[in-house]
A = this chain, B = another copy of it.
Amino acid sequence: MISDPDVVGLLYLVTIVCFVIALRFLSSPKHARKGNWVGGAGMLVAIATTLLFEGIGNWALIAVGATIGTVVGVVGARNVRMTAMPQMVAIFNGVGGGAAALVALAEWHNEAGPAWDSTTSIVLSALIGSISFAGSIIAFAKLQELLSGRPIVFPGQNVVNILVLLAATGLGMAAVAGVHEQWVLWALVALALLFGVMFVLPIGGADMPVVISLLNAFTGIAASATGFVLDSTVLIVSGMLVGAAGTLLTLLMAKAMNRSIANVLFGAFGQVQAGAGTARADDGRTVRATTPDDVAVQLSFARKVIVVPGYGMAVAQAQHDVRQLADILEGRGVDVRYAIHPVAGRMPGHMNVLLAEANVPYTQLSEMDEINPEFAQTDVALVIGANDVTNPAARSDPGSPIYGMPILDVDKAASIVVLKRSMNPGFAGIDNELYLDSKTTMLFGDAKESILKLISAVKAQ
């Protein structure tokens, strides 16, 4: 009773289910990797189904194309450095967009006089796919430093951009209205490519991940449009899943950077942006701001955490919350210790007074000499409003007013998270090299508020 199309449809449904589960799993640390495997399985089902049931030929071409694509993909993905991952995502996203545009072109070429709805889909697929392709290539080039990471701007850029986009849209409307000439779509693709380039060029390197995520959503929508062209539910659904999820993710990423999406995309048109909380040392090293969620993941996956309280914890009166965070981590099996520098705070024993008030057992407190050797085995040093007492200048810079003071060796920890409100110096009035360390991230904000956010985030893990 079951017909061929039914089997195909069911198999594609399997793919859809796999993809939904994959996305679900990918959004929780516990299942993320499994999610990718489930997605992979779904993809295999879809490919096999297409090959087996869609009555096709040109096997050799398909095989050769697939082989080339596979080699490119595997080699690209395998050999890239871990830090270059974002540009890899960009490039693979771009080729997906390109594929969608090409499929649209082929359909435009093949169908004699497609209906208005089919044409609409073809136009959308070509337009969006091309933008995504070109934009992704530029994003790749910028991240790979083939192009300057700086925003590239010229006067009147936004006017030009809008005109290009309008022209492309006009062509598309003409096509839908029935102008079935080959050049129409080619011209449209050309304009879309141009737009993609110009859209991404003015965006700075730090904002690139947000842009890539947006282009990713674009590619999803292009794939979905392709599905309309080919009457393929699996394409419609999968593409749209990515379109929607990607859009939401883009918003989330912008939010995590404390930026509006408009600011990310168009902020640079007037001005070169200095990404929130990102400062740059003279030698080009930058300060990296982080988010409570990220710190929460770091803490949750840590085996050993050392809390380094300083005057900022006292000012914020965060001691009770610090203890609560430590308790939660301890409860999860993390080894938590407090490192008390002899002059942390503004009076002898300042940290003791506060931590005793918060009921931290004395046995968890360690003196500097005792704890310093332990930083090397520490996953996260959580520096809470301490500054001078962690400043490596005391060891290395004879000109510094704090030279010679023994400090807590937080820089020996595998990673360092610093909670303070700004890049302002502490008591000694000097900058802290530690904040430029590549292992350091800064969680800006009042220490009490940051800790409260951390507690929520850790609990949500």
A303-362 CB contacts (< 8 Å) to partner B:
320-321, 323-324, 357-359
A182 located at the interface, meaning its Cβ lies under 8 Å from any Cβ of chain B in the complex: no
C-alpha gap A320/B325 in the complex (Å): 12
C-alpha gap A324/B1 in the complex (Å): 65
Q: Contacting A320 at CB < 8 Å: which of B1, B116, B359, B459?
A: B359
* Chain B residues whose C-beta falls within 8 Å of the C-beta of A116 in the assembled complex: 1
Interface class of chain A by DSSP: helix
Copies of the chain in the assembly: 2
Interface residue total, chain A, C-beta cutoff 8 A? 11
A405-461 CB contacts (< 8 Å) to partner B:
456, 459
C-alpha gap A324/B358 in the complex (Å): 12
Q: Contacting A459 at CB < 8 Å: which of B1, B321, B456?
A: B456
* Chain B residues whose C-beta falls within 8 Å of the C-beta of A456 in the assembled complex: 459
* Chain B residues whose C-beta falls within 8 Å of the C-beta of A459 in the assembled complex: 456
Interface centre among A320, A324, A357, A358 (most CB of B within 10 A): A320
A461 to chain B, nearest CB (A): 12
C-alpha gap A359/B321 in the complex (Å): 12
C-alpha gap A387/B459 in the complex (Å): 31
C-alpha gap A324/B455 in the complex (Å): 12
C-alpha gap A200/B1 in the complex (Å): 37
* Chain B residues whose C-beta falls within 8 Å of the C-beta of A358 in the assembled complex: 320
A276-326 CB contacts (< 8 Å) to partner B:
320-321, 323-324
A48 to chain B, nearest CB (A): 25
C-alpha gap A357/B320 in the complex (Å): 10
* Chain B residues whose C-beta falls within 8 Å of the C-beta of A324 in the assembled complex: 320-321, 324
* Chain B residues whose C-beta falls within 8 Å of the C-beta of A357 in the assembled complex: 357, 359
C-alpha gap A49/B47 in the complex (Å): 40
A452 to chain B, nearest CB (A): 9
A sample of 11 cross-chain residue pairs with beta-carbon separation below 8 angstroms, ordered by A number, consists of A1-B116, A320-B320, A320-B323, A320-B324, A320-B358, A320-B359, A321-B324, A324-B324, A357-B357, A357-B359, A456-B459
Contact residues of A with B, CB < 8 Å?
A: 1, 116, 320-321, 323-324, 357-359, 456, 459
Beyond A320-B358, A321-B324, 8 additional contacts (C-beta under 8 Å) are: A1-B116, A320-B320, A320-B323, A320-B324, A324-B324, A357-B357, A357-B359, A456-B459
Closest 7 CB pairs of A and B: A320-B320, A1-B116, A456-B459, A320-B359, A357-B359, A324-B324, A320-B324
